[in-house]
Chains A and B, each alone.
Chain A
Amino acid sequence: MGKILEINGPLVRMELPGVTLGEQVRVGALGLVGEVIARDGDTALAQLYEDSTGLAPGEQVEGLGHPLSVELGPGLLGGIFDGVQRPLEEIWRITGDRIARGVHVPALSRDRKWTFTPIQEHQSGRLLNAGDVLGTVQETASIEHRILVPPDVSGVLLELAPAGEYDVDATIARVRLHDGEIRKLSLSHRWPVRIPRPFKQRDHAVQPLITGQRILDTFYPLLKGGKAAIPGPFGAGKTMLQHQIARWCNAEIVIYVGCGERGNELTDVLESLPKLTDPHTGRPLMERTLLVANTSNMPVVAREASVYVGLTIAEYFRDQGYDVVMVADSTSRWAEALREVAGRLGQMPVEEGYPAYLGSRLAAFYERAGRVETLAGTSGSVTLIGAVSPPGGDFSEPVTSHTKEIIQTFWALSKELADARHYPAVDWLESFSGYVGQAARWWADNVDPGWADARARALELLSESEELRRIVNLVGVDALSSEQRWSLEAAELIKEALLQQSATDEVDSYASPEKQYLLLAGLLGIYGQGMKLVQLGVPAQRLLELPVMHEARRWKTRYGAADMAGLRERTAGLTGDFARLELEYSPLTSRDQERGI
Chain B
Amino acid sequence: MKNLEFRTASSVRGGLLVMANVPGIAAGTRVSLTDHAGRRRNGLVIRTSDAAVLVEVFEGTDDLDLERTWVRFLGEPFSLPVSRDILGRVFNGVGLPRDGRPPIVSGQRRDINGAALNPAARAYPREFIQTGLSAVDGMNSLTRGQKLPIFSGGGLPHNRVAAQIVRQARLLGESGSEFVVVFAAFGVSSQDARFFQESFEESGALERLVMFLNLADEPVIERLLTPRAALTAAEYLAFELDHHVLVVMTDMTAYAEALREVAVLRGDVPARKGYPGYLYSDLAELYERAGRIKNRPGSITLIPVLSMPSDDITHPIPDLTGYITEGQIVLSRELHAQGVYPPISVLPSLSRLMKDGIGGDFTREDHPRVASQLFASYAKALEVRGLAAIIGAEDLSEGDRRYLQFAEAFERRFVGQGEEEERDVYATLDLAWDLLSMLPLEVLTRVSEAELAKYHRQNRS
A residues with a Cβ closer than 8 A to B are 5-9, 13, 51-58, 80, 88-89, 91-92, 95-101, 233-235, 258, 260, 262-264, 266-268, 270-271, 293, 295-300, 333, 336, 339-340, 343, 349, 352-353, 389, 391-394, 419-421, 472-478, 496, 502, 504, 550, 553-554
Q: By the criterion CB–CB under 8 Å, are B48 and A353 in contact?
A: no
Q: By the criterion CB–CB under 8 Å, are A352 and B272 in contact?
A: yes
Q: By the criterion CB–CB under 8 Å, are A339 and B271 in contact?
A: yes
Residue-wise, chain B 340-359 has the 8 Å CB interface mask toward A (1 for contact) of: 00000001101011011000
Q: By the criterion CB–CB under 8 Å, are A263 and B288 in contact?
A: yes
Q: By the criterion CB–CB under 8 Å, are A296 and B277 in contact?
A: no
Q: By the criterion CB–CB under 8 Å, are A297 and B48 in contact?
A: no
Q: By the criterion CB–CB under 8 Å, are A504 and B395 in contact?
A: no
The segment from B80-88, B109-117, B249-257 found at the interface with A is: B109-117
CA distance A90 to B326 in the complex (A): 27
A-B contact pairs, 25 of them (CB 8 A): A53-B26, A54-B77, A55-B27, A56-B27, A57-B23, A57-B24, A98-B116, A98-B118, A99-B115, A101-B115, A233-B322, A234-B319, A270-B119, A270-B120, A296-B280, A296-B324, A343-B277, A389-B323, A391-B320, A392-B315, A394-B314, A420-B379, A421-B375, A477-B387, A502-B372
CA distance A8 to B51 in the complex (A): 13
Within 8 Å by CB of A7, from B48, B113, B118, lies: B48
Q: How far is the CB of B349 from chain A (nearest CB, A)?
A: 9
B64 part of interface (Cβ distance < 8 Å): no
Q: By the criterion CB–CB under 8 Å, are B119 and A267 in contact?
A: yes
Is chain B's interface secondary structure helix, strand, loop, or mixed overall? mixed
Q: Which residues of A contact B289 (CB under 8 A)?
A: 297
CA distance A57 to B48 in the complex (A): 7
Q: By the criterion CB–CB under 8 Å, are A476 and B118 in contact?
A: no
Within 8 Å by CB of B348, from A52, A262, A340, A419, lies: A419
B93 part of interface (Cβ distance < 8 Å): no
Q: By the criterion CB–CB under 8 Å, are B25 and A475 in contact?
A: no
The 5 A-B residue pairs with the shortest CB-CB distance, nearest first, are: A53-B28, A296-B284, A392-B314, A6-B49, A297-B288
Q: By the criterion CB–CB under 8 Å, are A235 and B350 in contact?
A: yes
Residue-wise, chain B 360-396 has the 8 Å CB interface mask toward A (1 for contact) of: 0000000010001001100100000011001100010
CA distance A339 to B272 in the complex (A): 13
Within 8 Å by CB of B25, from A56, A89, A349, A554, lies: A56
| Closest residue on chain A to residue B76 by CB atoms | A54
CA distance A427 to B415 in the complex (A): 29
Inter-chain pairs besides A394-B314, A473-B390, A476-B390, 16 sampled, C-beta below 8 Å:
A54-B28, A99-B115, A99-B116, A101-B115, A235-B322, A260-B280, A262-B288, A295-B116, A298-B116, A336-B280, A339-B271, A339-B277, A343-B277, A391-B314, A420-B379, A472-B387
Number of interface residues of B (CB under 8 A): 76
CA distance A101 to B26 in the complex (A): 16
Q: By the criterion CB–CB under 8 Å, are A353 and B288 in contact?
A: no
| Closest residue on chain A to residue B379 by CB atoms | A420
Q: A99-B115, A420-B376 are in contact. Are A9 and B46 (CB under 8 A)?
A: yes
**A-facing residues in B436-453 (Cβ within 8 Å):** 442-443, 445, 449
CA distance A478 to B25 in the complex (A): 78
Residue-wise, chain B 167-185 has the 8 Å CB interface mask toward A (1 for contact) of: 0000000000000000000
Q: Which residues of A contact B372 (CB under 8 A)?
A: 421, 502
Most buried by B among A89, A260, A264: A264
Q: By the criterion CB–CB under 8 Å, are A8 and B272 in contact?
A: no
Q: By the criterion CB–CB under 8 Å, are B113 and A234 in contact?
A: no
Q: How far is the CB of A125 from chain B (nearest CB, A)?
A: 46
The segment from B96-104, B122-130, B188-196 found at the interface with A is: B122-130
Within 8 Å by CB of A98, from B115, B327, B375, B443, lies: B115
Q: How far is the CB of A333 from chain B (nearest CB, A)?
A: 7
Q: By the criterion CB–CB under 8 Å, are B278 and A264 in contact?
A: no
CA distance A485 to B132 in the complex (A): 43
| Closest residue on chain B to residue A348 by CB atoms | B269
Q: By the criterion CB–CB under 8 Å, are A420 and B347 in contact?
A: yes
Q: A98-B115, A391-B316 are in contact. Are A352 and B271 (CB under 8 A)?
A: yes
Q: A264-B291, A297-B289 are in contact. Are A100 and B115 (CB under 8 A)?
A: yes
Residue-wise, chain B 24-39 has the 8 Å CB interface mask toward A (1 for contact) of: 1111110000000000
B293 part of interface (Cβ distance < 8 Å): yes
Within 8 Å by CB of A297, from B120, B239, B285, B316, lies: B285
CA distance A235 to B149 in the complex (A): 13
Q: By the criterion CB–CB under 8 Å, are B118 and A267 in contact?
A: no
